[in-house]
């Protein structure tokens, strides 16, 4: 008898059963894929870093280099297993031509290398160490990925001809997040071009024991060796390699959590509706002495069947899709040889999804216990009057149309049931608004402020060259004469030592100049104004442990000088570790200079850009929009894609869930509908009532979703940016999209789904339903 009950029930609610199963399948698939990919990613990174023997410690250095001294240090230090200095011949993007594409507007530091003898190998796509022949050029994979180059292309570097012989995996610099890219050429070609580029050094060490990295780092710094450039260690290489794909997997896991939540809502709604519908039957069963646990078993069996089918389907889909998702990891990092572990973990994830679903079903089924036989038999419904809605009565509501009233009243009276639909709509609104606002924020001018750059039109960088100060001065005097330029500011970056609490010293890069002309986003305090003030980037402030108002001691030319911390600002460039001050200092060497330029007429940016580029070939001159675009471009595009996907998901979800809910409601409400029709309410009246229900729920859902997006969503995005060095992140809301188009689109979908879902209400047979 129970078996028949379940079968009847599933046949009657085919749509709901199918939807619930689909959501469970989607959740199972996503969980599997995310776990599967995590294992592969970690495995592939390990493999790549083992094959290419990535250095444990690397110091980049530009300027003169005393190799003998370094060798002596390496020999003396017992930790060092191997040591080498590689040359990185930095080339201007303009001097690199791949096929028909010049790298002129590329923001990466592109440079030439030869293959190393000992470690830090550049690998081909089969994981072999590449030995280029003269005339052959091996190009970083990212230029394959973005379509800049392909095998067989003619390449020209500083007038010297090459053929693109292949692409290379670089365990250090694979990621677009690392700012340098290594091209591989033969020794012969390298020597020929040596004088045409700017040589930087990669001072690299492999240690006996990676756990001694911290001690080694201290020893290196303590020895006062070459250190004009960033220091990067093995764990950081690993992280940089993992981060892009890692974020994607995080997102997938997040989405799967969301899908699981929606599957739960479907189950909850179905069960609650079922319980409401069967209230009398369950009461009867209880009255004639059938145990609640027996009744519960029916539903457990039903959901075990749905859950198992969904999970199997999900696994199948995941197995079909997994290879396509692995493509990127395979391309950049090669194989992981972890298929078995990955599959095992993925299946464990799916089993977890199944168990969670069953646990949830049991929780909802607890409600059966509380069904009162007395009430069930007398009224066919639970006796508790709808709390809070009792004072909302027809006789007192003067303003509302009867149908609107009935719609709202129904929602208020069955809060639990509609709460379920509400949760889904809140989620839909949330996943729609967050990417809309996120993308808009990234595109907004203000976002540049988070990057530690004021709002200007053109950015001029002078670095990796000689006589930086003199060159900067020549540009300054040029700019001062130019009438098109409304204002400009010169910032000179120098490295000083900051004295820490324990007496030790650490290097800090300080930008000197006027910091008020192009203001940036300060999370606390303000820009430095007087000579004894300094502002710190968020990450620096955190790492050094300073707050606004604290006193910080810099060592300048051997003399200590105290500064007051005037403010803390966001900076996601240069690794997020910078400082700003206004004091003058003539003697310390300049690392680089930056000029921020604002034009009187923004339309002139392009022409000004080309005249400046011609006049000052040594400087890197960037349109600020291009610059932001290149740094943020991939992120903006990814988020733009996420936004489209999210909108599609949100709308589909709204339609599906509303359709489902409305159809179930009509089925459940057939008695009430029959009563209303016998009283002379038209089908149109009914449609208005159901329309009001969904619009009412939608409005609340959208408001809550928006609130959630602007608090939790902003917090989540803020957390992400905070880890990159941006503080006090605020959404720049796109009012039109977020608060007009998005809700309208949702309202339209929900409304259409309601009309569709309640169509059947019109054909409810009075004579059959009025009798109960």
Binding residue for another protein, selected from 78, 395, 477, 584, defined by CB under 8 A = 395
Nearer to another protein among residue 321 and residue 675 (C-beta)? 675
β partners of residue 160: 157
Residue 747 main-chain phi, psi, to 5 deg: -60, -40
Interacting span for another protein (CB under 8 A) from 159-167, 213-221, 386-394, 633-641: 386-394
Nearer to another protein among residue 526 and residue 668 (C-beta)? 668
Nearer to another protein among residue 398 and residue 586 (C-beta)? 398
What binding mask, one character per residue, do residues 524-553 give for another protein by CB under 8 A, x or -?
Answer: ------------------------------
Eight-class DSSP state of 132: P
Nearer to another protein among residue 629 and residue 685 (C-beta)? 685
Binding residue for another protein, selected from 387, 398, 586, 602, defined by CB under 8 A = 398
Interacting span for another protein (CB under 8 A) from 432-440, 503-511, 581-589, 679-687: 679-687
Binding residue for another protein, selected from 199, 397, 573, 728, defined by CB under 8 A = 397
Does position 234 interact with another protein (CB under 8 A)? The reply is no
Binding residue for another protein, selected from 5, 219, 261, 413, defined by CB under 8 A = 413
What binding mask, one character per residue, do residues 51-80 give for another protein by CB under 8 A, x or -?
Answer: ------------------------------
Residue pair 306/299 in contact by the 8 Å Cβ criterion: no
User: Quick check: helix, strand or coil at residue 385?
Assistant: coil
User: CA angle, corner 667, sides to 388 and 701, nearest 5?
Assistant: 45
Eight-class DSSP state of 123: B
Nearer to another protein among residue 131 and residue 378 (C-beta)? 378
Nearer to another protein among residue 102 and residue 397 (C-beta)? 397
Binding residue for another protein, selected from 85, 675, 745, 747, defined by CB under 8 A = 675
Nearer to another protein among residue 674 and residue 695 (C-beta)? 674
Half-sphere exposure of 364 (CA within 13 A, CB side): 24
Site for another protein in 709-768 (CB under 8 A): 762, 765-767
Interacting span for another protein (CB under 8 A) from 110-118, 262-270, 535-543, 675-683: 675-683
Binding residue for another protein, selected from 75, 187, 682, 711, defined by CB under 8 A = 682
Kind and range of the H or E run holding 603? none
Q: How far is the CB of 681 from another protein (least distance, A)?
A: 6
Q: How far is the CB of 283 from another protein (least distance, A)?
A: 13
Cα separation, 534 vs 360, in Å, equals 56
Interacting span for another protein (CB under 8 A) from 359-367, 377-385, 475-483, 511-519: 377-385
Residue pair 166/191 in contact by the 8 Å Cβ criterion: no
Binding residue for another protein, selected from 147, 159, 289, 385, defined by CB under 8 A = 385
Does position 410 interact with another protein (CB under 8 A)? The reply is yes
Interacting span for another protein (CB under 8 A) from 59-67, 231-239, 407-415, 503-511: 407-415
Q: How far is the CB of 3 from another protein (least distance, A)?
A: 26
Nearer to another protein among residue 145 and residue 378 (C-beta)? 378
Closest CA to 53 of 103, 119, 136: 119
Does position 677 interact with another protein (CB under 8 A)? The reply is yes
Does position 387 interact with another protein (CB under 8 A)? The reply is no
Binding residue for another protein, selected from 235, 250, 383, 545, defined by CB under 8 A = 383
Cα separation, 488 vs 476, in Å, equals 8
Does position 419 interact with another protein (CB under 8 A)? The reply is no
Q: How many residues bind another protein (CB under 8 A)?
A: 42
Binding residue for another protein, selected from 161, 243, 250, 379, defined by CB under 8 A = 379
Residue pair 523/529 in contact by the 8 Å Cβ criterion: no
Query: How far apart, in Å, are the Cα atoms of 136 and each of 154, 156, 162, 457?
Result: 10, 11, 6, 39
Cα separation, 101 vs 714, in Å, equals 39
Nearer to another protein among residue 120 and residue 410 (C-beta)? 410
CA dihedral 490, 494, 497, 498 (to 10 degrees): 20
Nearer to another protein among residue 161 and residue 281 (C-beta)? 281
User: CA angle, corner 750, sides to 749 and 752, nearest 5?
Assistant: 65
Cα separation, 188 vs 202, in Å, equals 20
Q: How far is the CB of 650 from another protein (least distance, A)?
A: 30
User: CA angle, corner 513, sides to 509 and 514, nearest 5?
Assistant: 135
Q: How far is the CB of 673 from another protein (least distance, A)?
A: 10
Residue pair 189/135 in contact by the 8 Å Cβ criterion: yes
What binding mask, one character per residue, do residues 357-376 give for another protein by CB under 8 A, x or -?
Answer: ------------------x-
Does position 378 interact with another protein (CB under 8 A)? The reply is yes
Residue 287: both structure tokens together: 């009255």
What binding mask, one character per residue, do residues 643-672 give for another protein by CB under 8 A, x or -?
Answer: -----------------------------x
Q: How far is the CB of 299 from another protein (least distance, A)?
A: 24
* Residue 99 zone, left/alpha/beta (φ > 0; ψ -120 to 50; rest): left
Crossing angle of helices 624-668 and 415-443, rounded to 10°: 170
Binding residue for another protein, selected from 390, 486, 507, 557, defined by CB under 8 A = 390
Q: How far is the CB of 412 from another protein (least distance, A)?
A: 8
- Residues comprising the chain, all counted: 772
Interacting span for another protein (CB under 8 A) from 44-52, 405-413, 540-548, 697-705: 405-413
Closest CA to 323 of 22, 43, 40, 28: 40
Q: How far is the CB of 411 from another protein (least distance, A)?
A: 10
CB count within 10 Å of CB 5 equals 16
For 172-193, the three-class secondary structure string (H helix, E strand, C coil) is CCCCCCCCEEEEECCHHHHHHH
Residue 526: both structure tokens together: 């303000």
Nearer to another protein among residue 381 and residue 530 (C-beta)? 381
Nearer to another protein among residue 222 and residue 680 (C-beta)? 680
DSSP 541-564: HHHHT--TT-EEEEEETTEEEEEE
Give start and end residues of each alpha helix (H) in 669-733: 670-678, 683-708, 714-724
Does position 772 interact with another protein (CB under 8 A)? The reply is yes
Nearer to another protein among residue 46 and residue 276 (C-beta)? 276
User: Quick check: helix, strand or coil at residue 143?
Assistant: helix
Q: How far is the CB of 666 from another protein (least distance, A)?
A: 15
Binding residue for another protein, selected from 465, 630, 683, 728, defined by CB under 8 A = 683
Q: How far is the CB of 667 from another protein (least distance, A)?
A: 16
Closest CA to 431 of 712, 684, 189: 712
Cα separation, 678 vs 686, in Å, equals 12
First-to-last CA distance in the chain? 23
Eight-class DSSP state of 761: G
Count Cβ atoms within 10 A of the Cβ of residue 549 and give its class: 0-12 exposed, 13-18 middle, 19 or more buried: exposed
Query: How far apart, in Å, are the Cα atoms of 48 and each of 36, 85, 514?
Result: 18, 21, 45
Spatial CB neighbours of 763, under 8 Å, sequence gap ≥ 6: none
Closest CA to 169 of 122, 100, 237: 122
Does position 406 interact with another protein (CB under 8 A)? The reply is yes
Residue 238: both structure tokens together: 């690993």
Does position 284 interact with another protein (CB under 8 A)? The reply is no
Nearer to another protein among residue 620 and residue 677 (C-beta)? 677
Q: How far is the CB of 286 from another protein (least distance, A)?
A: 18
Query: Which residues contribute to the site for another protein (CB under 8 A)?
Result: 375, 378-379, 381, 383, 385-386, 389-390, 393-398, 402-403, 406, 409-410, 413-414, 672, 674-685, 762, 765-767, 770-772
């Amino acid at each position: 008898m129970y078996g028949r009950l379940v079968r009847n029930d599933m046949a009657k609610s085919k749509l709901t059963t199918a939807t619930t199963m689909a959501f469970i399948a989607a959740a199972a698939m996503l969980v599997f894929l995310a776990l599967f990919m995590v294992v592969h990613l970690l495995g592939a990174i390990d493999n790549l870093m083992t094959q290419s023997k990535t250095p444990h410690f690397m110091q980049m250095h530009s300027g003169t280099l005393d190799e003998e001294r370094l060798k002596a240090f390496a020999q003396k230090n017992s930790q060092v297993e191997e040591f080498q200095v590689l040359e990185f011949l930095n080339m201007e993007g303009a001097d690199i031509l791949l096929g028909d594409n010049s790298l002129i507007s590329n923001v990466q530091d592109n440079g030439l290398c030869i293959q190393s003898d000992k470690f830090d190998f550049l690998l081909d796509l089969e994981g072999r160490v590449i030995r280029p022949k003269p005339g052959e050029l091996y190009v970083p994979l990212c230029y394959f990925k973005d379509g800049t180059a392909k095998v067989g292309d003619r390449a020209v570097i500083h007038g010297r001809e090459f053929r693109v012989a292949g692409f290379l995996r670089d365990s250090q610099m694979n990621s677009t997040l690392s700012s340098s890219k290594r091209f591989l050429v033969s020794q012969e070609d390298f020597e020929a071009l040596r004088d045409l580029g700017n040589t930087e050094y990669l001072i690299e060490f492999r240690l006996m024991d990676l756990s001694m990295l911290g001690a080694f780092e201290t020893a290196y710094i303590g020895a006062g060796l070459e250190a004009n450039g960033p220091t990067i260690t093995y764990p950081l290489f690993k992280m940089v390699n993992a981060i892009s794909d890692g974020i994607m997997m995080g997102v997938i896991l997040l989405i799967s959590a969301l899908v699981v939540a929606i599957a739960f809502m479907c189950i909850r709604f179905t069960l609650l509706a079922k319980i409401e519908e069967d209230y009398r039957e369950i009461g009867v069963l209880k009255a004639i002495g059938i145990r609640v646990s027996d009744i519960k078993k029916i539903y457990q069996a039903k959901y075990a069947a749905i859950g198992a089918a969904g999970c199997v389907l999900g696994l199948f889909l995941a197995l079909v899709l997994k290879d396509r998702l692995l493509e990127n990891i395979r391309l950049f990092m090669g194989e992981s040889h972890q298929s078995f572990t990955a599959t095992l973990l993925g299946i464990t994830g799916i089993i977890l999804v199944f168990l969670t679903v069953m646990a949830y079903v049991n929780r909802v089924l607890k409600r059966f216990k509380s069904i009162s036989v007395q009430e069930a038999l007398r009224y066919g419904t639970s006796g508790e009057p709808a709390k809070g809605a009792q004072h909302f009565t027809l006789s007192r509501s003067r303003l509302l149309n009867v149908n609107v009233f009935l719609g709202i009243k129904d929602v208020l009276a069955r809060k639990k049931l509609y709460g379920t639909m509400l949760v889904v709509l809140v989620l839909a609104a949330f996943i729609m608004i967050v990417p809309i606002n996120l993308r808009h924020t990234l595109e907004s001018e203000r976002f540049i402020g988070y990057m530690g750059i004021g709002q200007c039109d053109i950015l001029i960088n002078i670095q990796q060259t000689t006589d930086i100060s003199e060159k900067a001065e020549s540009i300054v005097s040029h700019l001062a004469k130019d009438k098109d330029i409304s204002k400009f500011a010169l910032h000179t970056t120098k490295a000083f030592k900051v004295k820490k609490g324990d007496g030790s010293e650490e290097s800090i890069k300080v930008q000197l100049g006027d910091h008020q002309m192009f203001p940036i986003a300060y999370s606390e305090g303000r820009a430095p104004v007087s000579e004894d003030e300094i502002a710190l980037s968020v990450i620096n402030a955190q790492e050094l442990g300073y707050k606004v108002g604290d006193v910080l001691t810099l060592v300048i030319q051997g003399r200590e000088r105290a500064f007051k911390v005037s403010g803390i600002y966001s900076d996601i460039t240069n690794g997020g570790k910078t400082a700003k001050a206004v004091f003058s200092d003539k003697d310390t060497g300049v690392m680089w200079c930056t000029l921020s330029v604002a034009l009187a007429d923004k339309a002139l940016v392009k022409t000004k850009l080309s005249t400046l580029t011609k006049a000052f070939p040594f400087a890197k001159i960037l349109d600020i929009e291009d610059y932001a675009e290149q740094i943020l471009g991939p992120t903006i595009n990814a988020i733009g894609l996420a936004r489209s996907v999210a909108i599609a998901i949100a709308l589909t979800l709204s339609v599906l869930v509303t359709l489902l809910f409305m159809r179930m409601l009509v089925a459940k409400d057939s008695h009430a509908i029959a009563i209303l029709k016998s009283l002379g309410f038209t089908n149109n009246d009914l449609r208005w009532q159901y329309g009001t229900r969904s619009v009412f729920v939608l409005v609340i859902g959208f408001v809550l979703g928006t609130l959630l997006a602007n608090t939790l969503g902003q917090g989540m995005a803020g957390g992400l940016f905070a880890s990159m060095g941006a503080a006090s992140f605020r959404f720049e809301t796109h009012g039109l999209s977020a608060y007009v188009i998005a809700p309208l689109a949702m309202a339209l979908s929900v409304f259409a789904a309601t009309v569709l879902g309640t169509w059947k209400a019109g054909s409810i047979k009075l004579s059959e339903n009025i009798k109960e």
